[in-house]
Chains A and B, each alone.
Chain A
Amino acid sequence: MQQIINFLINNKNALLFLLLLILSLSFTVQSHSYHKSKIVSSTNFLSGGLYSWQHSVSDYFGLKIENERLLEENERLRNQLSALGVDTVSTKYVDTVSFDRPFSFTKARVIKNDYSKIDNYILINKGEKDSVFPDMGVITDKGVVGIVENTSKNYSRVISILNSNSRINAGLKKSNQYGSLVWDGKDPNIVQLETVPRQAIIKEGDTIITHGRSTIFPKGIGVGTILNYQLNETKSYYLINVKLFNDMTDIGFVYSIQNRDSKEIKSLEKID
């Protein structure tokens, strides 16, 4: 017994080192598995508050670009509106209690955005207080950004499309084949679309959109265009490089998407 205690006292630094190392390694391993990285997260009050303070200062430098982006979005939406021929002075009423659209959008501001690592996260300034919850999609006016992974009262952490754990379903605009979007960690403007069956007819420049097969994103949100493609080793699937519509290094405002029907859809899927 005496010897054991002596051993512990003599090697206390080495043991302490091992303990701390194992602790940090377990944090690391957790951070590499999707939906488990909850302990070490920047959604807490200290880092969230610091980042939003920093952002409130640096925000002023991007106002002009932000304005132009909003004007562009307005222009596009106006064009869509006139193409649809919506009659704005119509006397037709829609009962929104039962015919409301399933998706609702909440605007949020990005207060931290990484893109230089393998696993990147984005911090936004809306949380549970504004009904932003895990598994909600996040987009900009141009295209997909990521999925909310972790929320606190005032902040949410978004797992970016530029993250090795992220798997977002997307497919071709002109046919119904789809695959999953992954990132190889090289270029923040280019992601990879995997497991598109080789029967799909694709060509460079084709548009990739979300496919609405999960409850996270509605169908038809833009992702990017095909840069180039090749067949995988077994010649059964395409591996497609997709150039993103978003500039992931420069994201100011985003919208989080709430699917009001997601509970209903999930309960149906559970029945089997």
Chain B
Amino acid sequence: MNKDLLLHIVRFILLVLIQVLILNHINFLGFLNPYIYIIFILLVPINVNKSLFLVISFLLGLFIDIFSDSGGVHAAACTVIAFIRPVVLRSVFGLSYEFQTVKLGNLGFGERFLYVTLMVLIHHIVLFSLEIFNFSHILLILKKTLFTSLFTIVVTLLILVLLRRDDS
């Protein structure tokens, strides 16, 4: 248990550092940056204390906000996906989620893909709506959401596959 806790703390710090020091400067095609720090939220165990999970997700987003001077957009997006993660999990995994037998480490590719896609899409829609904050730019919001989501999903799936732990 203690080892798991340490793993989560290290993962939190590493993801924030990688995001702000490397990935925020990619600017592929001028504006595309993958937001892979939400891997932390994706990989939190299913039976976690929900209040604690909400607060930690909020803090994760706030850290990214402080580093990238974006007000509170990442904090809001992270809080939203942390809150609706149970709904997403139930719709993706159905019964096996109800019985708490899902291990996020050893899922089939299809389920994993669906889970990551849903979470990333919701996160990015909230993120870019708040970042642009102007409904006359709705096409820009949709464009940014679509392309950045593609980028994030590909990078996230690659990282999840490459750094898979056998025992979890």
Contact = CB atoms under 8 A, between A and B. Distances in A.
B80 A27 contact: no
Contacts of B51: 12-13, 16
B30 A40 contact: no
A24 B72 CA distance: 5
A118 B131 contact: yes
Interface stretch (A41-49, A61-69, A93-101): A41-49
Given A21-B79, A41-B66, A116-B27, A13 B71 contact: no
A114 B31 contact: no
B70 A21 contact: no
B149 to A, nearest CB: 16
Contact of A24 (B27, B55, B58, B137): B58
A31 B55 contact: no
A23 B59 CA distance: 12
A163 to B, nearest CB: 10
A120 to B, nearest CB: 8
Interface residues of A, number: 40
Contacts of A16: 51, 54-55
Category for how many chain B residues contact A:
35 or more
A185 B137 contact: yes
B54 to A, nearest CB: 5
Interface string A249-267: 1000000000000000000
A21 to B, nearest CB: 5
A116 B79 contact: no
Contacts of B71: 27-32, 37, 40, 119
Interface in A1-38: 12-14, 16-17, 20-21, 23-32, 37
Interface string B67-109: 1111111011001100100000000000000000000000000
A71 interface: no
Given A27-B75, A185-B137, A21 B80 contact: yes
B72 A119 contact: no
B70 A17 contact: no
Given A25-B72, A47-B66, 14 more contacts: A12-B51, A16-B51, A17-B83, A24-B61, A25-B130, A26-B72, A27-B65, A28-B73, A28-B133, A40-B70, A41-B66, A47-B67, A116-B31, A119-B70
